[in-house]
């Protein structure tokens, strides 16, 4: 059973309310956040990412409108939330929690789990069920798969653009290795060691970010 099937079963589960995912790298976390949103939407769940875990008490309160909600948390350990979430009465509410690997292993018997290290397999599984994608040429499918394996955080946006442009996918090496996320990481690194000599480098990075945003519609 792949992770897509596990997410579908978890959303239908009447007993379990929490699913843990290990934080691999930021790009993979973004991929799974978007995948969870896609599947939740198809099952008529309202999916929200929660930045402030202090709001758990409000989240577990019974809904007056009988809404099905799915929540995404990105935290370090489960210590601060598992106790609160165990008190959830409405089992239709679902909580996807990204944690560090040690917390993921420690809680292996206490909640449903999803192995985020299988992201390449999940990308392939998702595309196998997409009839529009399967109708493309083998060359385009291979190029797109290779691009997505190296840039999982861009998978859904690039897939949408591929459909809009009716199968036109051009792999740009500069773009492939030059995502907004990677540029911002580099900007942050240079800002931490800032000096006058770094001004030209930072200016170039900002120009590259603007260029990507311009074509990443």
- 3-state DSSP of 133-185: HHCCCHHHHHHHHHHHHHCHHHHHHHHHHHHHCCCCCCCCHHHHCCCHHHHHH
User: Who has greater pLDDT, 49 or 168?
Assistant: 49
For residue 84, pLDDT beyond 70? no
Tell me if residue 98 falls in helix, strand or coil.
strand
Q: Report the candidate in 194, 135, 211 with the shortest Cα–Cα distance to residue 167.
A: 135
For residues 88-105, give the mean pLDDT: 81
Give the side-chain half-sphere CA count within 13 A for 133: 20
Q: Which tens digits make up the pLDDT trace of 24-50? A: 898 999 999 999 999 999 999 988 887
> Which of 83-92, 110-119, 125-134, 193-202 ranks highest by mean pLDDT?
125-134
For residues 13-25, give the mean pLDDT: 88
For residues 105-130, give the mean pLDDT: 88
Q: What does the pLDDT read at residue 53? A: 65
For residue 212, pLDDT beyond 60? no
For residue 52, pLDDT beyond 90? no
For residue 189, pLDDT beyond 70? no
CATH architecture of 3-118: 3-Layer(aba) Sandwich (3.40)
Cβ neighbours around 35 below 10 Å, total: 22
Instruction: Report the percent of the chain where pLDDT is more than 70.
Output: 61
Cβ neighbours around 22 below 10 Å, total: 19
Q: Report the candidate in 112, 135, 108, 26 with the shortest Cα–Cα distance to residue 74.
A: 26
Q: In angstroms, rounded to a whole number, what is the distance separating the alpha carbons of residues 104 and 196?
A: 43
Cα radius of gyration rounded to whole Å, the chain = 20
Q: What does the pLDDT read at residue 82? A: 64
Q: Report the candidate in 102, 121, 100 with the shortest Cα–Cα distance to residue 31.
A: 121
Q: What is the DSSP letter of 2?
A: -
Mean pLDDT rounded to a whole number for the chain: 77
Cβ atoms 84, 59 nearer than 8 A = no
For residues 147-159, give the mean pLDDT: 92
Q: In angstroms, rounded to a whole number, what is the distance separating the alpha carbons of residues 36 and 137?
A: 28
Instruction: Report the percent of the chain where pLDDT is more than 90.
Output: 31
Q: How many angstroms separate the Cα of 80 from the Cα of each of 66, 99, 103, 182? A: 27, 11, 11, 30
> Which of 66-70, 75-79, 212-216 ranks highest by mean pLDDT?
66-70
Q: In angstroms, rounded to a whole number, what is the distance separating the alpha carbons of residues 157 and 78?
A: 31
Q: In angstroms, rounded to a whole number, what is the distance separating the alpha carbons of residues 187 and 181?
A: 10
Q: Report the candidate in 35, 36, 15 with the shortest Cα–Cα distance to residue 110.
A: 15
Q: What does the pLDDT read at residue 173? A: 44
For residue 15, pLDDT beyond 60? yes
Q: H or E stretch including 97? A: strand 94-99
């Amino acid at each position: 059973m792949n992770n897509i099937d596990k997410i579908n079963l978890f959303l239908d589960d009447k007993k379990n309310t929490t699913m843990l995912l290990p934080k691999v790298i930021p790009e993979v976390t973004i991929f799974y956040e978007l995948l969870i949103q896609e599947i939740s939407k198809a099952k008529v769940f309202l999916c929200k990412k929660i930045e402030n875990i202090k709001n758990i008490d409000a989240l577990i309160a019974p809904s007056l409108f009988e809404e099905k909600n799915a929540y995404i948390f990105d935290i370090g350990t489960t210590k601060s939330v598992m106790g609160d979430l165990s008190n959830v009465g409405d089992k239709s509410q679902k909580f996807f929690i990204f944690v560090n690997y040690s917390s993921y292993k420690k809680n292996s018997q206490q909640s449903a789990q999803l192995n985020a290290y299988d992201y390449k397999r999940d990308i392939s599984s998702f595309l196998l069920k997409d009839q529009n994608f399967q109708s493309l040429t083998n060359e385009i499918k291979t190029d797109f798969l290779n691009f997505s394996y190296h840039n999982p955080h861009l998978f859904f946006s690039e897939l949408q653009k591929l459909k809009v442009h009716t199968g036109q996918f051009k792999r740009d090496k500069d773009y492939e290795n030059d995502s907004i996320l990677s540029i911002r990481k580099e900007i942050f690194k240079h800002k931490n060691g800032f000096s006058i000599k770094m001004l030209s480098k930072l200016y170039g990075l900002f120009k590259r970010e603007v260029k990507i945003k311009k074509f990443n519609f």
